[in-house]
A = this chain, B = another copy of it.
Amino acid sequence: MTIPASGLQIRSEVRADGTLHLSLVDEPTRAPGPNDVLVRIEAAPLNPSDLGLLFGGADMTTATASGTAGRPEVTATLPPAAVAMMAGRAGQSLPVGNEGGGVVIAAGSSPAAQALLGETVGVLGGAMYSQFRTLNVAQCLALPEGVTPSQGASCFVNPLTALGMTETMKREGHKALVHTAAASNLGQMLVKLCKADGIPLVNVVRRPEQAALLRSIGAEHVCDSSSPSFMADLTGAMADTGATIAFDAIGGGRQGGQILAAMEAAAARAMPEFSRYGSTVHKQLYIYGGLDRGPTEFNRAFGMAWSMGGWLLTPFLERIGPAAAQALRERVASEITTTFASAYTREVSLAETLSLEAIAVYGKQATGEKYLVTPQKSLA
């Protein structure tokens, strides 16, 4: 196999004038070092966690297209507040794409690298919206026989996040958990995982059709925030499950506080006497996403035994240590077509990824609309 000299790669640049520029560049291929492999990237998902880097805080309703069919360019404007927040990346042309799936077409001399030659792998490490990536073997997860690169494209972010939630729940002494934006790809995966592991799960969604979707895949506790009985439903679900930890993808608005208040109301039902400090049951909310970019607001109607904080996959994996993290990865590989299977609504080439029409759909991060970038697909 000859190593290709270069391959196309999506780039995102925020300029000092407050504009975002998306483009395709021809990126030279780096020859693998002893412990590296060269992966032909066949598929890479457009995860919510990729869009922040891709769009750089720009208002994508201002996007305009230029360039050619094979080398499209997109320009958009950042709101003034975003310009300051993006100052740290101004002027840098950044590659994008946290994870993907592909085939190892060249390998370094080490036994670990050689063992991967010809294998289908899930890969993590940025710049996956590229045709070729040279990666350390530690960034690759070998997939079982018969698994395709598309099936293995989402081995890390969603599966490890779902496992990270249930692991965090166990390690912090909780016995049931709450998840918001629960009809998402990740949310559906969490339903399957919790079912497999016997973990009671409270799913919070925003629309009746999302509740129906989750029930159709076996979710037991589903609370629809658009329902007038939402707070009562939520409190009932907390009482039924004993959930005292929540993972929130929304971030902004009042729902995080409502979840803590429902946990407290369920705990208060079991209290023998009044305490002005509320229950002693510790209630935890982790914010891991920002689907609502607006401010977070809550009225602290949940006593004093509560905590709210950011949650990110990478620091979590560092905290649990390499052996525990590897065990989670191996579970993902073995269940990638069942518990951890992902579904996509459309496959797009690198060029199509930069079309205004595609951006208008995947940029919304709407539940049920998930795109898969397929860098080997012909450009137009």
A309 with B306: CB separation less than 8 A? yes
A304 with B296: CB separation less than 8 A? no
CB distance from A264 to the nearest CB of B (A): 11
B300 with A297: CB separation less than 8 A? no
Contacts A296-B298, A298-B295, A300-B287; is A89 near B274 (CB within 8 Å)?
A: yes
A280 to B312, CA, bound (A): 10
A271 with B310: CB separation less than 8 A? no
A273 contact set on B, CB distance < 8 A: 88
A280 contact set on B, CB distance < 8 A: 315
- Does A268 lie at the interface of the complex (its beta carbon under 8 Å from any beta carbon of B)? yes
CB distance from A357 to the nearest CB of B (A): 25
Residues of chain A in range 272-310 having any CB-CB distance to chain B below 8 Å: 273-277, 280, 287, 290, 294-301, 303-310
B274 with A88: CB separation less than 8 A? yes
Contacts A306-B309, A312-B304; is A92 near B274 (CB within 8 Å)?
A: yes
- Does A52 lie at the interface of the complex (its beta carbon under 8 Å from any beta carbon of B)? yes
A300 with B88: CB separation less than 8 A? no
B299 with A295: CB separation less than 8 A? yes
A315 with B305: CB separation less than 8 A? yes
A133 to B304, CA, bound (A): 28
For A, the interface residue count at a CB cutoff of 8 angstroms equals: 37
A311 contact set on B, CB distance < 8 A: 304
B309 with A268: CB separation less than 8 A? no
A304 to B286, CA, bound (A): 10
- Does A85 lie at the interface of the complex (its beta carbon under 8 Å from any beta carbon of B)? yes
Instruction: Choose from B53, B274, B275, B305 the contact partner of A310 (Cβ within 8 Å).
Output: B305
Residues of chain A in range 287-341 having any CB-CB distance to chain B below 8 Å: 287, 290, 294-301, 303-312, 315
- Does A149 lie at the interface of the complex (its beta carbon under 8 Å from any beta carbon of B)? no
Q: Which residue of B lies closest to A90 (CB)?
A: B274
- Does A251 lie at the interface of the complex (its beta carbon under 8 Å from any beta carbon of B)? yes
Q: A307-B310, A309-B309 known; 20 other A-B pairs, CB under 8 Å?
A: A52-B276, A53-B276, A85-B301, A88-B268, A88-B274, A92-B274, A251-B300, A277-B312, A295-B298, A295-B300, A296-B297, A296-B300, A300-B310, A304-B311, A304-B312, A305-B310, A305-B312, A306-B310, A307-B308, A307-B309
Q: Could you write out 25 A-B pairs with CB less than 8 Å apart? A: A53-B276, A88-B271, A88-B274, A88-B275, A89-B276, A251-B300, A287-B300, A295-B297, A295-B298, A295-B299, A295-B300, A296-B297, A296-B300, A297-B297, A300-B310, A304-B311, A304-B315, A305-B310, A305-B312, A305-B315, A306-B309, A307-B307, A307-B308, A308-B309, A309-B309
